[in-house]
Amino acid sequence: MKKTVRTIAIYIFAAVLAVFCLFTTAASSYISARADTALTYDTSDPLDDLENSTIAGEDFSLADYPYVENGDPMVIAFVEYCYAYYDSGRENYGLYVYVYNPGGFDFDSTKNALHLKSGNNLSNEYSLRLLNYSTRQGAEGLFYKFKVNFTAEERANFLANLDRDSRVYEIVGIELSRGNVITEYEVGSIYTYSGYAAGYGAFEGAESTLNCVVDNFNLYLSLDVRTTYYRPKGPNGEAYTQDTLHSVYFSVPNDIVENYGDMTAVHATWLNAQTSPIFVTGNSQVYTAVSKYLGQTVDGGNFTYADDDTSPLAYALIASKYIESAGFNNAAYGFSYMSYNANREYTASDIDLYNLSYCFLAEGGDADNYTLPGEALVGNRNENIKGWFETYTEAYGSDTAVDGRFSADLFNEVADQYTDINITSDDTFELTDEIISQDLWQQFIGGGYHVEATNTYTISAIKRVSGSDFKQTTAATCENLYIDETDYEEFKDFYDEAQSNDETVYLFRYYQSAYTSYEVATYTRGKGTWTILGTQFGYDFVDSNSYFAQMWVQLGFEIIDLTFTKNGVSTVIPVVMSPIDIAADADPPIITSTGVDWLTIALLGGISLAGLVITCIVKHYANKK
């Protein structure tokens, strides 16, 4: 894990800004001139700007900035623009960032950000607006120019917390988006501005006194953040719903812990989004049929009788608390996909789905025992593997993008804004785990269960991992640490490597959500007539080898800073981390049926019983004779 700083010291002389911050004595012209020059500065070519500056004590020379294949971008200049002595003169105040782009990458115009701390402001990430890039022949795209894109509230708070006489800007890192993949690059520089450009000081006739000193700082962490989750085996008190504890883990150098104390708080941000229903099936024929209609709206038509049915899909997928024959599915809650059943009695919570955005084939053909890995949704950035979020968006698109990246079809609900929270070691989560059982009848018809006992777990948000946390078995260790067993090997390897590197591993539990998973009964069209052995009111039962799942995922998760406390003194250390998307695994339903068509069996049983009764009656009267 990198703990080094990539820094270039940059000195921007006062004369540079004086070129842009013009001044006239007439009040009306003064405001107009500042507005005009702000517009000019936003549109000026970054290479033209840089040629008037001094970098690392040397006059800027284009020859010092060649193209380098796959070279990492770096910040080479940070400009405080037109800061005025008086509040009323700060209309044109702005912060500009110049980036040297040796790899010649084509950066996106959105999703770029600057990780910045200034004055008494907390370390935070501020959106960057891409202004332009160099267009001169031989230097196309070699230099990019961004402007910090404050909201009105951010700008007011930012200015209110600056020291007027010594404006200190600590730049931790810069996030740049390329092909919708965001990477944070280390900067580690402190820019201290003092004085004022001509016309912006207390005395409007004074010459420019603006000065900038740039220093390096090493007190920040570059984190390798891994993800995990924990889900109790039983329901959380609501049928078919399980609690999920979302966690990440990372390591910090032992000397940080020794010098600043134990980690007591984590400042993190993310966007919560609930997926639309995820369909998983072990039936390859069903998978092939359904996959053809992903991203499309398919009206099931009158599925009850084939002659009236207009649906192009040969299957109806029905999930509910009771996997009954579709014609008698009076569930308190359920899904039905691409189907319409005139005989079904709807309740307020019934849902008809006329489109799907997810379809996965269970490995081994057994959906009841197949867990869909979270990586199938979000991909694996380290191995350059795309997830379904990205794959679906590329294939089917959407008029509305979630987080500026993914199709809105993929999500049932999205938070209005990013969660931005400081979670402390005193914060806890409480999980519920019902111990349940099913009798033979409940197993036979599907749905229904008995609650034998209820367990609750109170879990600290921050856990410092030690050797004693590893128990004799994998299962015991995972129960102790509240991590999923599928993550154990990676977690143990990460811990062992951290120990060898003199680092301490922390588990950070940041969010709790509800996960639902329903078994799906699959039906095909009937023959148009009702028969005992075949069609039941238009439906032929296929199997219950499928399920629907819905979960909450976190998009753009990022740790901003960590707080360490020693002897009552807290130290906030900024973090460099590229944002990641996080999804837990999709587990199969905890409540399933035997996978048989119980109504046909019940009808046959009833007919057999009736036949037996009739036989007995006939024999009874025959004996009387």
197-225 burial by CB neighbour count: b if 16+ within 10 A, else e? bbbbbeebebebebebebeeeeebbbbeb
State how far the alpha carbon of 494 is from the alpha carbons of 121, 251, 498, 580, in Å: 34, 9, 6, 18
| Under-50 pLDDT residues of the chain | 1-36, 301-306, 321-349, 528-537, 598, 601, 603-604, 607
pTM of the model: 0.83
pLDDT of the residue at 595: 55
Q: What pLDDT shows up at residue 110?
A: 92
Q: What is the pLDDT of residues 555-589, one digit of tens each?
A: 999 999 999 999 999 999 999 999 999 999 999 99
* CB distance 50 to 75 below 8 Å: no
Amino acid at residue number 188: G
Angle, alpha carbons 493-476-252 (nearest 5°): 35
Q: What is the CA radius of gyration of the chain?
A: 32
Task: Report the alpha-carbon distance of residue 482 to residue 554 in Å, rounded.
Answer: 19
Q: Residue 570 to residues 187, 257, 505: CA-CA distances in angstroms?
A: 24, 12, 19
Among 267, 269, 270, 264, which Cα is nearest to 463's? 264
Q: What is the C-alpha to C-alpha distance for residues 105 and 340, in angstroms, rounded to an integer?
A: 51
Which pLDDT score is estimated for 493?
98
CB within 8 Å of 199: residues ≥ 6 apart: 21, 22, 23, 30
Residue 519's pLDDT is 85
> Strands 262-275 and 503-525: what pairing?
unpaired
Q: Provide the 3-class DSSP secondary structure of residue 169.
A: strand
Query: Any idea which residue has 């695994």 for tokens?
Result: 585
